[in-house]
Structure 1
Amino acid sequence: MLNYVTTNAGKVREVREYLDDGAVTQLDFDYAEIQAPTLEPIAVRGAREAYRHAGEPVVVDDAGLFVDALDGFPGPYTAYAEETLGIERVSRLAREAAEGPGRAAFRCVLAYCDGDDFAASPDPVDRGDRAAAAAAENDPEGDADLPVKLFEGAVRGRLVDPRGDGGFGYDPVFEHEGTTFAEMGPAKKNAVSHRGRALEKFAEWYPSR
């Protein structure tokens, strides 16, 4: 059984589009999110903490919105910006800073941990492309050698006024090729989204595990 660590049922539905529905369960576990300028160390720490809690294979998902005109803000602080500013204000700030289209990218990092080593890499953190994840070690619990494998996905787009009734989070204000994520059906969104692209890589690798 694979434990997908999230409080968001929408994310679980997305991962089940890529994996056998019965093989994935939602694990509502509130791991500590460290302060970091990139997503990778946050996901790595979360996966290790979740594995210690569950004692079973886990996947932690950390995603962020990186706005060009705001030097990558909110990035790892995307959820905090949503809670404090709201998605419409973030979109407006991006467009005002850019004095035009608020160009941005969504990035997602999936971190997988099952307690075992990865034969393809001697490093405690291994990306899907076999390169070690730089600066991803930050674990005061002393489990920095607990192996974690990362899978990444990204999608470019721009921030707009809210459109559409589907999805969650920033989906109504993130437009990709003329359509917001909230206007897309689940299948179309999965095919192009940052999380969908990371999940596709993970789903290709996971059966071999």
Structure 2
Amino acid sequence: MRRFDERRLLVATHNAGKLAEMRALLAPYDVEVTGAAAAGLVEPAETESTFVGNARIKARAAAEATGLPVLADDSGICIDALDGAPGVYTADWAETGNGRDFGMAMARAWRELEAISAPMPRTAQFRCTLVLMWPDGHDEVFEGVLPGQVVWPPRGEEGHGYDPIFQPDGHDVTLGQMPPELKNSLSHRARAVAAMIEGVFA
């Protein structure tokens, strides 16, 4: 596994919530973290059917455009009773043609669970795959999984995406109700980043 000795890292996301989360997680490692929007990058089409495939698309496009090492993630919520949906289509469920509406996406997830009378608890996992790619094309892959259940109605104003309907195992509140420090310590992204730090930073 290749050690990461660079001082700059571009995180290939336009999602301000994800960028802030990644900055917080990498703060102890003296790495300057910038986002895709600040670099003027356009989001590439995510045409793969797996998290790792889509993460590689984003990492490669950003590395080729900037010459910087890039960290890209693809992540989503996988609901067991829906055969793992929305999965890689987690963000697509929120697309409206005029921006993303995660309230609509959360409602769809619950509506589909109700339609099949899915038993309680409605188990799910947040999954995150990270691809860390160097400008020469070498990459390392790291994964994180946060198990829990989908609940209704949405609870909490913190976080982003589907956080208000996801209650992690061992907790009685949703990610949307947790302060950022707590969420960042246990999220699927935090677990993937922890694996990355152990693998290439530590």
TM-score bin, normalised by smaller chain? 0.7 to 0.9
Aligned with residue 16 of structure 1, among 18, 23, 42: 23
Q: 2 CA distance for matches of 1:10 and 1:86? A: 17
Instruction: Give the SS at the match of 1:203.
Output: helix
Asked whether the 8 Å contact 2:25–2:184 carries over to 1, the reply is no
Pick one of 167, 172, 175 that aligns with 1:178: 172
Deviations 1:7-41 (A, max 9, x none): 11211221122223762112223332333332111
Give 1:36's aligned amino acid: E
SS in 1 for 2:159: coil
* Sequence identity (%): 39
TM-score by length of 2: 0.81
Q: In structure 2, what is the equivalent of residue 109 of structure 1?
A: 129
How far did 1:99 drift? 3.4
1:154 partner amino acid: V
Q: Which amino acid in 1 is paired with 2:160?
A: F
1:104 and 1:87 map into 2 onto residues whose CA distance is 13
Q: What are the superposed Cα offsets for residues 80-128 of structure 1, whole Å, 9 maximum, x if unpaired?
A: 1123542122133235431333211110011111124xxxxxxxxxxxx
Indicate yes or no: 2:154 matched with 1:154.
no
Alpha-carbon distance between aligned partners in 2 of 1:207 and 1:153, rounded to the nearest angstrom: 17
Task: Give the Cα–Cα distance (whole angstroms) in 2 for the partners of residues 37 and 68 of structure 1.
Answer: 17
Aligned length: 179
SS at match of 2:196: helix
Answer whether contact 2:156 2:174 (CA < 8 A) is retained.
yes
Matches within 5 A, 1:109-128: 109-116=129-136
Q: 8 Å contact 1:157–1:174 — kept in the other structure?
A: yes
Distance 1:178 1:93 in 2: 23
1:78 is aligned to 2:72:
no
Please tell me the root mean square deviation across aligned C-alpha atoms, in Å. 1.9
> Alignment partner for residue 34 of structure 2, among 13, 25, 35?
25
Give the distance between the partners of 1:66 and 1:111, measured in 2 at CA: 19
Structure 2 residue ranges without an equivalent (≥5): 1-7, 97-103
Q: Distance in 1 between matches of 2:114 and 2:182?
A: 26
Q: How does 1:52-67 map to 2 (within 5 A)?
A: 52-67=64-79
Query: Match for 1:44: what amino acid?
Result: R
Distance in 2 of aligned mates of 1:112 and 1:22: 14
> In terms of mean alpha carbon deviation, does 149-158 or 92-101 score higher?
92-101
Counterpart residue number, 1:90: 109
CA contact (8 A) 2:164 2:176 kept: yes
Equivalent residues of 2:72, 2:132 under 8 A apart:
yes
- The aligned amino acid for 1:192 is L
CA–CA distance in structure 2, aligned partners of residues 26 and 34 of structure 1? 18
- Greater shift, 104-113 or 24-33, is seen at 24-33
